[in-house]
A = this chain, B = another copy of it.
Amino acid sequence: MQRIYNFNAGPATLPLPVLEEVQKELLDFAGTGMSILEISHRSPAFEKVLQEAKADIKELLGIGEDYEVLFMAGGGSLQFSCVPLNFLAAGQVGAYSITGSFSDKALQEAQKVGTTAVVFSSKAQHYNRVPRPSEIKLPEQCAYLHITGNNTIEGTEYFQYPETGSVPLIADMSSDILSRPFDVQKFSLIYAGVQKNIGPAGTVVVIAKKDFLQGRPKNLPTMLNYEVMLDNDSLYNTPPVYAIYIVGKVAKWLKAQGGLAAMEKRNRAKAALVYAALDAHPEFYRAYADKDSRSIMNVTFGLPTKELEAEFVAQGKAANLGGLKGHRSVGGIRASIYNAMPLAGCQQLADLMEAFWRQHK
């Protein structure tokens, strides 16, 4: 068996110690005589998994009793609909900051539900940056401001969040959740498909102020109603047991690494290696993102020709660096360097970039 450095954007690399634990206990979970794939979601063994996962995520984020952690299904894409269905009432305006393809999809789902306003868009500049806080002006009767914390496809990330005063701030953090500390108190609701930084495909973690989730419209489809999920502690129906179990293990791994401050240090060091290689040859490697919006999770860039880009991906693959091809909508190269990507993987990528430049300059 040879494990590769996996730069895929999601599903993405997971910590090897987590995978080894999962493998070890696959036939008999916690002495139950059953696999985690087989145990009842109402069993004490799973209840422990669920409560520990929630508690560990709250501990990592430094949040207390006023916030709840929920696990839902359907990915970020279903959350795009849940947000306006739950929070965009008639007479209100849902405000959206459009910084990438997924922001745009979130907006489109809201447009089916009610009135929306685009308060920032870098679409005409190929989503090259996120807004500065001062650029955001909220409309009257604003139900919420929705932002995308990290733009996976384009490689940009917010490091300063907008100030919204009494207007609820909602964020899709699918691709940077638990990668660094931030002030959760600014947010009324955060959602994140877990398949990038903290788990396998199959669940979405929702972190929200409890009182924000209360009083939802009664006629919503039950499975899209945040209040029902809150009242049932994510167990209204059978949840994605396995995905929650792995998120729980990743959360424990993050704690063992030193928590989010340690992860930020490591993630910034990883990103610095790759960006340094990029900036060393700006006439050859063309960065997609403006410098002050550069994501520390997804590094995106182009080479002089499509042929060179294909050759770069191929050389990466040959050197056990997988998943470097950019998203089909933007092309080029994308290196996703989430929590579980080791520094050594980023170093090898930086080395490849230098060597490739020497070959083709």
Taking Cβ atoms with an 8 Å cutoff, the residues of A that contact B are 1-4, 6, 8-14, 16, 19-20, 22-23, 26-28, 32-35, 37-41, 43, 73-78, 80-81, 85, 105, 108-109, 112, 193, 195, 200-202, 219-224, 236-243, 246, 320, 322-323
Given contacts A11-B38, A13-B38, contact A75 B27 (CB under 8 A): no
**Contact partners of A105 in chain B: CB under 8 A:** 222
User: Given A202-B243, A221-B81, are A39 and B8 neighbors across the interface (CB < 8 Å)?
Assistant: yes
Q: In the complex, how many angstroms separate the beta carbon of A171 from the nearest chain B beta carbon?
A: 18
A and B contact pairs by CB, cutoff 8 A, 29 listed: A2-B28, A2-B33, A4-B32, A8-B34, A8-B39, A11-B41, A11-B238, A12-B38, A19-B35, A22-B37, A23-B23, A33-B320, A33-B322, A34-B322, A73-B74, A73-B75, A74-B74, A77-B222, A77-B223, A77-B237, A80-B221, A80-B223, A81-B223, A105-B222, A108-B222, A109-B222, A221-B224, A242-B242, A242-B243
Partner of A112, one of B12, B78, B221, B242: B221
Instruction: Determine how close the nearest CB of chain B comes to the CB of A255; give it in whole angstroms.
Output: 20
Q: A33-B2, A75-B237 are known contacts. Are A38 and B14 too (CB-CB below 8 A)?
A: yes
Give the number of times this chain occurs in the complex, counting copies.
Answer: 2
Which secondary structure characterizes the binding site on chain A?
loop
Complex-state Cα separation, A41 to B37, whole angstroms: 20
Minimum CB–CB distance for A346 against chain B, Å: 17
Q: In the bound complex, what is the Cα–Cα distance between A19 and B23 (angstroms)?
A: 10
With the chains together, A77 CA to B78 CA distance in Å? 14
Which residues does chain B contribute within 8 Å of A77, judged by CB atoms?
A: 222-223, 236-237
Q: Which of B39, B201, B223, B242 contacts A238 (CB 8 A)?
A: B201
Q: Does A200 contact B37, Cβ atoms closer than 8 Å?
A: yes
A37: chain B residues within 8 A (beta carbon)? 11, 14, 19, 22, 200, 246
Write the nearest CB–CB distance from A186 to chain B, whole angstroms: 27
Q: How far is the CB of A325 from chain B (nearest CB, A)?
A: 10
- Bound together, the chains give a CA A94 to CA B10 distance in angstroms of 39
Contacts A77-B223, A78-B74 given: A35-B14 contact, CB under 8 Å?
yes
Task: Given A85-B221, A238-B195, verify A19-B13 contact (CB < 8 Å).
Answer: no
Closest CB-CB distance, A318 to chain B, in whole Å?
A: 12
A78: which of B19, B223, B243, B323 is its contact (CB, 8 Å)? B223
Q: Which residue of B lies closest to A243 (CB)?
A: B202
